[in-house]
Amino acid sequence: MAEKQHIMIKGVKEGLVFLLDDSCELDLLLDELHYKLEKTHQQLLTGPLVHVHVKLGARQLGDEDKERIRSVIRAQGNLIVQSVESEPAAGSELLQPPPGIQLISGIIRSGQTMEREGDLLLTGDVNPGGTIISTGDIYVMGALRGVAHAGVSGRTDVIIAASLMRPTQLRIADIISRPPEEWMSGDPAMEFAFLNEGTMQMDKISQLYRLRNNPIMLRGV
C-alpha cells in the first residue's frame, strides 16, 4: 500500500494531533490510519503514553463512526484518544434548520436508501450509490456524493443542502438536476439547491436566509 496524504500527524505540547481529510471516504481514512500506525509511524508506538486529539475538519460523524476511529488508535498500546472533534461547517450558523427536524447520524452507503417524512438533517455522508429521500428539506452535514430527493410528495419550496456538494443526482419534487459538471462550482463553502421558476439552482448557504425571507423565489413548475 502506497502511503497517501489524507492524514497528517503533528506533534504539539499536549501530545499528537491527527488531522483527517474531510473530503476522503471514511473507510479509506481508517485503512490509511491503520497503515500509518502499523507501518510508517512505528516510532509513535514506543515510549511513554501519548495523548491524541483527532480533528475531523468539516466532517460530521456519529458516535459509532467516532468509535471506529478511536478503536484503530487505541489498538496501539501507548496512544490515548482524548478527543474526536469536527469544526463547525462553513455557514452552519446560518443554516438554522426548522424546529422539529429529524436528526439522523451515520453514513448512507452504496445500495442503501434512507427515506423520512418531514425535514431531515443527516450528520454523516451519503456515499456514491446511496440515496436519501425526504418529503421536506434535506440537510447533509457531510459529503453528499449519492442521490438526494427532497419534496418527494410534491413540495417545491424545499431545499437540499450539504457541506460538500458532489452528488450524482439531485431532485426536488419532480425536477431533476442538470448534469453535475454543469452546476458544480467547486467552491468549498456549504451550498444548497432550490427551485426557481421550475429550474434547479445552486447557491451558497449564506444566501439561505435571504431566500427563506423571500418565499416568492421558491417556486415550482
What pLDDT, on a 0 to 100 scale, did the predictor assign at position 79? Answer: 83
Q: Report the number of distinct structural domains present in the chain.
A: 2
State whether 108 and 162 are in the same domain: yes
What pLDDT, on a 0 to 100 scale, did the predictor assign at position 128? Answer: 93
Domain boundary (85, 105, 126) is at 85
Domain boundary (63, 85, 107) is at 85
For the stretch 161-210, pLDDT in tens is 998 888 999 999 999 986 565 555 555 568 899 998 888 888 888 777 77
CA atoms within 13 A on the CB side of 152: 16
Does residue 124 sit within a domain?
yes
Domain boundary (85, 107, 136) is at 85
Does residue 1 sit within a domain?
no
Higher pLDDT, 219 or 25: 25
State whether 29 and 56 are in the same domain: yes
Mean pLDDT for all residues in the chain: 81
State whether 177 and 207 are in the same domain: yes
Does residue 18 sit within a domain?
yes
Domain with 62 in it: 7-85
Higher pLDDT, 182 or 47: 47
What pTM does this model have? 0.55
Cβ proximity of 7 and 36 under 8 Å: yes
What pLDDT, on a 0 to 100 scale, did the predictor assign at position 127? Answer: 94
State whether 35 and 101 are in the same domain: no
Question: Which range is least confidently modeled, 15-24, 38-47, 125-134, 193-202?
Answer: 38-47
> Distances in Å between the alpha carbon of 211 and those of 91, 94, 216?
15, 12, 9
Does residue 202 sit within a domain?
yes
Task: Please tell me the distance from the alpha carbon of residue 30 to that of residue 26, in angstroms, as a whole number.
Answer: 6
State whether 66 and 30 are in the same domain: yes
State whether 139 and 184 are in the same domain: yes
State whether 110 and 212 are in the same domain: yes
Residue 42 has pLDDT above 70, yes or no: no
